[in-house]
């Protein structure tokens, strides 16, 4: 129980930072959110996140500022003040240290950079716990929305793992920073995703599970170091979307949707699974929209 009290305290500090990202945040504020002394709050925060509260806050502010510079015609000085930097000069120095370039240079040519995209610490430990315990009996069946969408010819910027078959194995092999780089790619057609590659796209000695983002077929921008880019053919994807859920219940939401997909017969609706046509993908679990996963399909009258 004591361990979960610490995890929940750090989660409250994460939530406070997220809710007050454009305001002044003091260690006293975070300590009050955590319910511990300032010293103890700072210690447990760094223990669980790997960063001190203010290292975390600064990295998050700079990443959100970078997204604003990438997507909007905004004055650098306005962005600096939006994210509580005292001056244009201070913001420029911090941005340069974080990303290796000035905010002016980045706003003029926003290539891929390593954004800081922290995960909720409570979700992480809940997932670890679920790996140790059996799920309880389901008391009800939630509604799942299913639709088929067309994906055009496109490219995939991705980073391979070694043997990973799911997210946590991938993070152990590659690290958890890939998402931040993928999220910084302005030309992305859709949001970044975890993906399971078809056999024909798996290189010897690399993993089936990868993380990537799809970009237009004529993409000529930068490919981040350590990543690669491949072509994807047009395809149809059957998208499954579960009901909204409380964030702490994301493990159950994923397993429930997997159970639906496992039992689903696409032939009843004129389709068949087409595993080699394209990568299957999962979007980042976000409770407000329900868990979303997609598998490639082919219309029955299209042939094999």
Q: Based on the domain organization, do 177 and 243 belong to the same domain?
A: no
Q: Which residue has the tokens 């490919």?
A: 223
Domain end, chosen from 180, 212, 231, is at 231
Task: List, as one string, the DSSP characters of 101-117.
Answer: S-HHHHHHS--------
Q: What confidence category does residue 129 fall into, taking pLDDT thresholds of 50, 70 and 90? A: low
Domain residues for the domain of 288 are 137-152+234-303
Average pLDDT, the chain: 90
Per-residue pLDDT at 103: 95
Same domain for 75 and 93? yes
Do residue 145 and residue 248 come from a single domain? yes
CA separation for the pair 108, 106 (Å, rounded): 5
Q: Are residues 143 and 260 in the same domain?
A: yes
Q: Tell me, yes or no, whether 283 lies in a domain.
A: yes
Looking at the fold, whether 98 and 180 belong to one and the same domain comes out as: no
Residue 133 has pLDDT above 60, yes or no: no
Same domain membership, residue 142 and residue 86? no
Q: CA-to-CA distance for 255 and 203, rounded, in angstroms?
A: 28
Of 109-113, 143-147, 172-176, 206-210, which one has max mean pLDDT? 206-210
Same domain for 221 and 270? no
Residue that is last in its domain, among 198, 231, 264: 231
Residue at which a domain ends, from 231, 258, 278? 231
10 lies in a domain?
A: yes
Does 121 fall in a domain?
A: no
Number of domains in the chain: 3
- Asked if 59 and 178 sit in the same domain, the reply is no
Would you state the pLDDT for residue 128? 63
> Tokens 């639709």 map to which residue?
147
Question: Does residue 122 sit within a domain?
Answer: no
Using 50, 70 and 90 to split pLDDT, how confident is the model at 302? low
Same domain? For 290 and 172 the reply is no
Radius of gyration of the chain (CA): 21
The mean per-residue pLDDT over the stretch 2-26 comes to 93
- Residue 40 included in any domain: yes
pLDDT value of residue 1 = 44
* Whether residue 269 sits in one domain with residue 145: yes
Q: Which of 33-42, 115-124, 188-197, 268-277 has the lowest mean pLDDT?
A: 115-124
How large is the average pLDDT for residues 93-99?
A: 95
Expressed in angstroms, the distance from the first to the final Cα of the chain is 54
Quick one: average pLDDT of 89-102? 94
Query: Model confidence at 137, in pLDDT bands (50, 70, 90)?
Result: very low
Copy the structure tokens of residue 177. 């920073």
Based on the fold, state whether residues 147 and 158 are members of the same structural domain.
no
Tens-digit pLDDT profile for residues 54-83: 999 999 999 999 999 999 888 999 999 999
Domain membership of residue 126 (yes or no) is no
> Residues of the chain with pLDDT > 90: what percent?
77
Residues 147 and 252 in one domain: yes
Q: Residue 73: its pLDDT value, please?
A: 82
Query: Mean pLDDT, to the nearest integer, of 87-93?
Result: 94
Least reliable range by pLDDT among 21-35, 141-155, 180-194: 141-155
Higher pLDDT, 133 or 23: 23
């Amino acid at each position: 129980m004591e361990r979960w009290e610490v995890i929940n305290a750090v989660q409250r500090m994460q939530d406070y930072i997220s809710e007050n990202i454009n305001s002044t945040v003091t260690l006293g504020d975070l300590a009050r959110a955590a319910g511990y002394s300032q010293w103890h709050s700072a210690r447990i925060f760094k223990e669980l996140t790997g960063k001190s509260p203010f290292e975390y806050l600064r990295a998050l502010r700079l990443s959100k500022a970078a997204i604003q510079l990438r997507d909007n015609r905004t004055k650098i000085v306005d962005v600096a003040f939006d994210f509580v930097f005292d001056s244009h000069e201070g913001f420029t120095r911090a941005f340069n240290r974080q990303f290796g370039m000035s905010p002016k240079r980045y706003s003029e040519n926003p290539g891929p950079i390593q954004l800081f995209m922290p995960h909720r610490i409570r979700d992480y430990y809940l997932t670890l716990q679920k790996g140790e315990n059996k799920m309880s009996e389901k008391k009800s069946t939630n509604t799942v929305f299913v639709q088929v969408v067309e994906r055009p010819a496109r490219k995939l910027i991705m980073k391979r793992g070694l043997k990973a078959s799911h997210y946590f194995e991938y993070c152990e092999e590659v690290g958890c920073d890939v998402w931040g780089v993928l999220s910084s790619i302005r030309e992305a057609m859709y949001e970044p995703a975890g993906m399971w590659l078809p056999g024909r796209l798996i290189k010897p000695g690399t993993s089936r599970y990868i993380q990537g983002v799809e970009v237009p077929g004529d993409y000529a921008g930068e490919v981040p170091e350590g990543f690669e880019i491949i072509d994807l053919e047009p395809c149809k994807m059957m998208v499954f979307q579960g009901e909204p859920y409380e964030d702490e219940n994301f493990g159950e939401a994923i397993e429930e949707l997997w159970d639906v997909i496992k039992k689903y017969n696409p032939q009843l609706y004129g389709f068949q699974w087409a595993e080699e046509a394209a990568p299957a993908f999962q979007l980042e679990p976000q409770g407000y929209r329900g868990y979303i996963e997609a598998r490639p399909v082919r219309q029955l009258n299209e042939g094999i």
